[in-house]
Amino acid sequence: MTSEADSRPAVEAVGLGKRYRGDRWALRDCSFTVPAGRICGVVGANGAGKSTLLTLAARLIKPTAGELRVLGEPSGTPELRTRVAYVTQEKPLYPSFTVADTLRLGRELNPRWDEDVAQKVVNLGELDHRAKIGSLSGGQRTRVALAVALGKRADLLLLDEPMADLDPLARHELMGALMAEAADRGTTILISSHILPELDGVIDHLLLMQSGRIRLAGDLEEILDGHQLLTGAAGAAQLPDELAVEKRVRGRQVTALIRTGEAVAGPWEATRPSLEELLLAYLRTPIADRPGTTTRTAGSAEPDREAAA
Amino acid sequence: MSTSLLSGRAAQGSADGPAGPTRPARRPTGLLWLALRQSRSAIRVTAALLVLATVVLLTIHFVVQDRAGVMEQRGCLDSSFWGERQCWPLIQRIELAARAFTDLVQPAVFALPVVLGMFLGGPLLAQEYERGTIRLVLAQSVAPRRWLAARLAVAGLVVLPAVGVLSLLTTWVWWTDVIHGPAGFDPPFQTSTYPALGLAPFAWSLFGLALGVLVGELVRRTVTAVLVSGVLMVIASVVMRLVRPYLWPVVDAVVPYDESMGGFMQPTNAWLVERGIVLPDGTRAPDGYCVASYECDEAVGAWGHYHPVSHFVPIQLVETGILVVLAVIALAVVFRRIARASG
């Protein structure tokens, strides 16, 4: 990649919306930026719009509203075909093809194909190249699908729930392969997941989605730095409610996640939240449940930190 | 071959990355390889069926020719000797062979386009959508239109020539062993004969494939696509059967009324479309007018509209033209939709 391409964001959305047939907005008013070279976690509950967002970025569907730029190009540009790889949630492969056939499909249809990367991913799973895809387990199929995606040597890799049916060992190993790919080639990876632990230590950028909207977007460290987990005795002091993402009372103890990096006055014990604590707090509190905030301000209250940086 | 299918992208790709492993020359590559791989079972089934049909047709041909030769030796060719003891078994054998042709081969060739539409055309895209594998293809570096073009071209170029060969063989056996055979009677315009001869199997197979692909693109479920394609093909056959007499101008003939003949008689192997009698005042009454009428006694003539055998080829050409146009329209719709799905 050239330095010019490096400076351009990998994915850039402005007011992006997608409505499927039947008036249901799967995605609405999404604005965010994912800088190039990041491993970005796309997190949200089922139906939050994660898959729709990835499918839009993979240009398999067209946005209903707003603008989406991928690798600096409008998302409709045919030239992006070679530069974006996509593994859908279902990891579709031809069941009558062998593993070797499937790798050959990747080789024949992609001019930038890297046979070594693809072979490595398949061989680490000790797969028989002559085995039919239809005879493989779900996890083995996932491995082959990821091998085809990685072999494409794309600049942007879109992975929708890639690890769901892998055993912990394979998950760890494939995550390692993904991170190595990102580190070696500067590939940007968007990875959606609702298995929160699998993202910890992997992602360095976050898109938190809720009900088709972006709830939180930005550099992971900055987001974590911008939040505090407060613990204290119930009734001891007033919480800054307007900053609280979530407040939980357990007996006489109150735990709250608040959205500020500044020290808070009061008898609170403040810690930096872990990724999981942060995500769970947000996921447990749908936007509509938060008193005194509307969906719009929730979406825009958290400015894109990367863009500001 | 691969470079032409992958267009300029292959060249562009090799500029900024190492090329794939070197492959032996003259083996299919790129989209052509994928289309051949995806059509593998269709190719095998087509080859097997073509061999089977060839064996059956050649068997019929040689049985008829062999028996006809024996009949000629024994002086049985003239139908007045057919009752003789030495002729009867021979003519029976020939009749059996001719019946195998008219009752087995012809209906099979007649049904072939329906079967192709159902089991090759229908699933071609429906299965891709149902299994989600179209997204696998769309996620690669090739334009969806190019993939579809390769896929359709391979399927068509495998099946249609096979249908052509089959049709040629069928027509040849019909010509030499049935209609010109010693015991054959099988007028070409019959409902089950016409679609098995000449261009018809080819044109209908092309149409069936295109229709099936379109149905698959629209319904996106394999079983539904198979059933809907079958129903639509049957409807299309019935409609074409009704329209067929009007694809070419009929011959209009009036003959003197002959009570013993019971009305107008068309020439041998011609297709009688409509007939009736001519009344004394010169007006034409339709067939059946006379059943309960004394007027027929005064009929001065019988009229008929018919297609002589010489109309067989022009009618098939017009019908082929219609089917080709419909197939092109169906495929154009499919290509438009595929392109719209993802730029």
Contact call for residues A172 and A200 (beta carbons, < 8 A): no
CATH superfamily of A4-217: P-loop containing nucleotide triphosphate hydrolases (3.40.50.300)
Closest CA to B137 of A35, A93, A18, A178: A93
Alpha-carbon distance of A182 to B22, in angstroms, equals 27
Q: Which of residues 151-180 of A touch B (CB under 8 A)?
A: 152-153
Distances (CA, A) of B319 to A17, B13, B251, B309: 49, 47, 19, 16
Alpha-carbon distance of A53 to A44, in angstroms, equals 12
List of chain B residues whose C-beta atoms are within 8 Å of the C-beta of residue A98: none
A96 touches chain B (CB under 8 A): yes
List of chain B residues whose C-beta atoms are within 8 Å of the C-beta of residue A111: 6, 9-14, 17, 141
Residue A111 has a pLDDT of 93
DSSP character for A254? E
Q: Please state the φ and ψ torsions of residue B309, each to the nearest 5 degrees.
A: -55, -30
Residue B331 has a pLDDT of 97
Contact A109 B34 (CB under 8 A): yes
Nearest-neighbour CA in chain B from A29: distance (Å): 22
Alpha-carbon distance of A285 to A282, in angstroms, equals 5
Give start and end residues of each alpha helix (H) in chain A.
Answer: 3-7, 50-57, 99-109, 115-124, 138-151, 168-185, 220-225, 275-284, 295-301, 305-308
DSSP secondary structure string for all residues of A86-151:
EE-TT----TTSBHHHHHHHHHHH-TT--HHHHHHHHHHTT--TTSBGGGS-HHHHHHHHHHHHHH
Q: Label residue B146 by pLDDT band (50, 70, 90).
A: very high
Encoded tokens for B280: 């004394």
| Closest chain A residue to the Cα of B132, Cα to Cα | A92
Residue B156, pLDDT > 90, answer yes
| Closest chain A residue to the Cα of B142, Cα to Cα | A109
User: To 5 degrees, how large is the angle CA B339–CA B341–CA B342?
Assistant: 75
A120 touches chain B (CB under 8 A): no
Task: Give burial (CB, 10 Å; 0-12/13-18/19+) of A204.
Answer: middle
Residue A38 has a pLDDT of 92
Contact call for residues A114 and A187 (beta carbons, < 8 A): no
Give start and end residues of each alpha helix (H) in B117-258.
Answer: 122-131, 133-138, 144-173, 200-219, 222-243
Residue A7 has a pLDDT of 64
Nearest-neighbour CA in chain B from A162: distance (Å): 14
Distances (CA, A) of B328 to B7, B208, B220, B237, B331: 24, 12, 20, 18, 5
Kindly give the confidence (pLDDT) of every residue in chain A, 309 residues in length, as a single tens digit, with 9 standing for 90 and above: 444 445 689 999 999 999 988 778 899 999 999 999 999 999 998 888 999 999 999 988 889 999 999 999 988 888 899 999 999 999 999 999 999 999 999 999 999 999 999 999 999 988 999 999 999 999 999 999 999 999 999 999 999 998 888 888 888 888 888 888 888 889 999 999 877 877 888 899 999 999 899 999 999 999 999 999 988 887 766 777 778 888 888 888 888 898 888 887 778 888 999 999 999 999 888 765 444 433 333 333 344 433 333
B18 touches chain A (CB under 8 A): yes
In chain B, DSSP finds a helix count (H) and a strand count (E) of: 12, 4
Give the model confidence (pLDDT) of B305-332 as tens digits: 999 999 999 999 999 999 999 999 999 9
A93 touches chain B (CB under 8 A): yes
Residue B140, pLDDT > 90, answer yes
Residue A278 has a pLDDT of 92
Give the model confidence (pLDDT) of B24-58 as tens digits: 556 788 999 999 999 999 999 999 999 999 999 99
Contact B133 A94 (CB under 8 A): yes
**Domain residue limits, chain A:** 4-217, 220-284
List of chain A residues whose C-beta atoms are within 8 Å of the C-beta of residue B38: 94
List of chain A residues whose C-beta atoms are within 8 Å of the C-beta of residue B132: 88, 90, 92
| Closest chain B residue to the Cα of A152, Cα to Cα | B140
Contact B135 A106 (CB under 8 A): no
Alpha-carbon distance of B250 to B315, in angstroms, equals 11
Contact B139 A59 (CB under 8 A): no
Alpha-carbon distance of B62 to A69, in angstroms, equals 70
Give the model confidence (pLDDT) of B220-257 as tens digits: 999 999 999 999 999 999 999 999 999 999 999 988 87
Residue A260 has a pLDDT of 85
Question: Does ipTM exceed 0.90?
Answer: no
Distances (CA, A) of A67 to A73, A257, B24, B101, B223: 11, 33, 45, 65, 38
Contact B20 A112 (CB under 8 A): no
